[in-house]
Amino acid sequence: MDTLEIGTAAADSTPRPQSGPASYAMLINGEWVGASDGGTRTITDPGNGDVLATVPEATAEDVDRAVAAARKAFDEGTWKADDNAQNRAKLLLALAASIRENAARLAELDTRNNGKPLAEAEADVSDSAACFEYYAGLATKVMGETVPVPMNMLSMVVREPVGVAAQIIPWNYPLMMAAWKLAPALAAGCTVVLKPSELTPLSALELGRLITSLDFPPGVVNIVTGAGEVAGAALSAHPDVDKIAFTGGTDTGSLIMQAAARNIKRVTLELGGKNPVVVFADADLTNAAEWVAFAAFANQGEVCSAGSRLLVERSVHDEFVGRVADIARSIKLGHGLAADVRMGPLVSAEHREKVESYIEIGKAEGATLLTGGKRPEGETFAQGNFVEPTIFTDVTPDMKIAREEIFGPVLAVIPFDTEEEAVRLANDTEYGLAAGVFTRDISRGHRVIRQIRAGITWINNYHPTFNELPWGGYKKSGIGRELGKYGIDAYLETKQINVYLDEAPLGWYVS
Ligand code: NDP
C-alpha cells in the first residue's frame, strides 16, 4: 500500500502534499485489498481542496468477506482465550508505542483529511495512544466473581467477549474514534470490522498499517472503507455480527438500531447533543469566557459534546457575551497546518452548506447575529470550507438554532433569571450528552449539574476528556458508555457457571 508523503507546513501558507495522491487499500483478513468491483473514492483536504488519496469503495460483498474473516478469527482462533489476555495487552501496548512513534505523521494526516488545527490533531494522537495503553491495562483485569447460593453449589460469574464487533465511526475525530472503538473491543477479546467515515478514512488505514506490522492474527482487525448507506448498512444488518458500536448522527443511530434489531445485536450508540453551558453571575467571567469559547468552537464546533447553547444569567449577559464574542473574533482561521491556526475548515462543502443553512434559519427566526455568520474573506480561505465563529443572541428556546444540532461553530445564547429557570432551560432538549456549569458557589454548581440530565459534565471547565471516565449520553444522545471500565463492559457477555459439589441425588424423579 502506498502511503501519503506529507509536506512540511510553511507558516501561514496553505500547505500541500509533496507528492501526488496516494492509493490506499483496505484491510481484510490481514491482507490489503481493493473493492470487489474495483470501485474507489477520492479523499480531499477540506482546507484547500487538494486530492489526498483514493480509497476502495467497499461493496456489500466486501463487508461479507470482512465479517467472515472476523467471525473465523473469533470462532476458530485463540484471540479470545483467557490465556491470551497477556498477549492482547502486550499487542495493545505495542500498538500504542507505534502510534507514538508515528505521532507527527498521523497528526498531520488527520489535519489534512479532517481540517482540524494541527495542535488538536496532535492531542488526538496522544489520546489515541493513551487509550490503547489504558485498555492494555484492563485486558488482564477482566474478572468474574463467585456468589454464595443454596444447594452446595459453587457458582461463578465469568465475563466473555461478545464476539464479532462492527464499529462505525464519524469524521470529526478520525483516529481517536478508531482508538475508542478498537481498544476496548480488542482488550475484551472481540474481533472487529471497523468502518471509518467515507470522508476521513486515512488515519484509520494508517492505524491498520501499524496493526499489520505487529503480531495481531489475521482477521482480528478488519477495516472497510466506503459509504454508510452501503458498507455501514451491510454491517449493521449482518447476521454474523454480534455487536455494533456506532458514533455519529442521531438519525443514523436510529437506522442502525433498527437494523441491529433483526438479529438482536448488542448496540452501543454515541450520538448528538445540544449541550447547555450555564454561566451564573458569580462565575469567574474571564476564565469562563475562554472555556465557553472553547466549548463552542474547538474542532470547528464539530463535536458531539460541543457547548452550543449558552445560558447566561441576565445580570451579566451583555458583559459576558461581549467577552466571548471578543475571543471568537480573535480566533485565527486557516488551514490546520498553518502556524497559530485555532480553527480549520469544516469537513466538507456539503457540511458547510448545512451549517450555513442554520445560520440563515437563525436570522430568519429573529435571533441577533452578534458576530461571524459568514465565510472569511481572502485568498487563504478561497478553496476551503471555512465559516467564521458565529454567535447568536436573543435566541429563544423554541428556535431551531436552540434545539437542533448544528455541528459547526455556531453558539446560541439564551438569558435566564433564576437557578430553576437555568435547570429547566438546560434540560429543555431531546438530547442529554454533555453540560457545563460556571459558578464560584461550588454547592450550587454541584446542585445544578446533578439536575441536568446529561452523561458528561464539567464544573468551571469544559471539554477535557479522559480515557479513564465513561463517555456517553442520556435521552437521544445514545445508549451505553465508552471509555473507562464501562467501555470494556460493552464488549463483554456475562455467564454463570454452577458446579454441584454435593453427592446427594437430585431426588425430583427418583426417590
Ligand atoms: P453519520 O451519522 O451519517 O455518519 C457516521 C458514520 O455512520 C459514518 O461512518 C457514516 O458513513 C455511517 N453511516 C451513514 N449512514 C449509515 C447507515 N445507513 N448505516 C450505517 N452506517 C451509516 O454522520 P454524518 O457524517 O452524515 O453527519 C450528519 C450529522 O450527524 C452531523 O451534521 C452531526 O449533526 C451528526 N454527527 C454527530 C457525530 C457525533 O460524534 N455524535 C459525529 C458526526 C456527525 P459515511 O461517512 O459513509 O456517511
- What is the pLDDT at residue 511? 86
Q: Where are the alpha helices (DSSP H) in 15-117?
A: 60-76, 85-101, 103-114
CA distance 481 to 126: 21
- The residue-averaged pLDDT of 117-124 equals 98
Mutate to test the pocket of ligand 1, among 197, 246, 274 (most ligand atoms within 8 A of CB): 197
pLDDT tens-place string over residues 39-53: 999 999 999 999 999
Find out whether 235 and 397 touch, Cβ atoms under 8 Å. Answer: no
Closest ligand 1 atom to residue 272 Cα is 41
d(CA 255, CA 185): 22
108: DSSP letter: H
Confidence of residue 346 (pLDDT cuts 50, 70, 90): very high
Q: Which three cell numbers stand for residue 482?
A: 465508552
Q: How far apart are the first and last CA of the chain?
A: 71
Q: Is the pLDDT of residue 292 over 70?
A: yes
Q: Is 459 exposed, middle or buried (0-12, 13-18, 19+ CB in 10 A)?
A: middle
User: Residue of the nearest CA to atom 46 in ligand 1?
Assistant: 197
> Which ligand 1 atom is at minimum distance from the Cα of 233?
19
The residues carrying an active-site annotation are: 270, 304
Residue 7 clears pLDDT 70, i.e. is over it = no
Q: Would you tell me how many other CB atoms lie within 10 Å of the CB of residue 1?
A: 15
What is the DSSP-derived secondary structure letter of residue 438?
E
HEC profile of 116-147? CCHHHHHHHHHHHHHHHHHHHHHHCCCCCEEE
Tell me the residue type at 19: S
Residues 152 and 499: their CA atoms lie apart, in Å, by 9
Nearest to 350 by CA among 159, 186, 212, 199: 199
Query: 395-452: per-residue pLDDT in tens?
Result: 999 999 999 999 999 999 999 999 999 999 999 999 999 999 999 999 999 999 999 9
pLDDT interval class at 14 (50, 70, 90): very low
Contact between 195 and 166 (Cβ < 8 Å): yes
Helix runs in 170-227, H state only:
174-188, 202-212
Query: What pLDDT sits at residue 16?
Result: 43
Task: Please tell me the residue having the least CA distance from ligand 1 atom 16.
Answer: 228
Contact 109, 203 (CB under 8 A): yes
| CA distance readout (Å), 51 to 26, 228, 302 | 18, 21, 22
Q: Quickly state the pLDDT bin for 19 (edges 50, 70, 90).
A: low
Question: Positive or negative CA dihedral for 147, 150, 152, 158?
Answer: negative
Task: Fill in the DSSP letter of residue 229.
Answer: I
Distance (angstroms) between ligand 1 centre and the Cα of 252 equals 6
Packing angle between helix 174-188 and helix 202-212, nearest 10 degrees?
40
Instruction: Calculate how far, in angstroms, residue 202's C-alpha sits from the geometric centre of ligand 1.
Output: 17
Q: How many CB atoms lie within 10 A of CB 50?
A: 18
Q: How far is the CA of 170 from the centre of ligand 1 (A)?
A: 6
pLDDT confidence bin for 2, thresholds 50/70/90: very low
Closest C-alpha residue for ligand 1 atom 42: 248
How many A from CA of 247 to the centre of ligand 1? 7
Confidence of residue 11 (pLDDT cuts 50, 70, 90): very low
Q: Would you state the pLDDT for residue 13?
A: 40
Q: CB under 8 Å to 425, separation ≥6 — which residues?
A: 276, 311, 397, 414, 416
Phi, psi of 90 (to 5 degrees): -65, -40
| Best mutation site among 57, 63, 180, 252 for ligand 1 pocket (most ligand atoms within 8 Å of CB) | 252
Q: pLDDT class for 9, splitting at 50, 70, 90?
A: very low
Ligand 1 binding site (Cβ under 6 Å of any ligand atom): 168-172, 195, 197-199, 227-229, 232-233, 236, 247-249, 252, 255-256, 270-272, 304, 405, 407
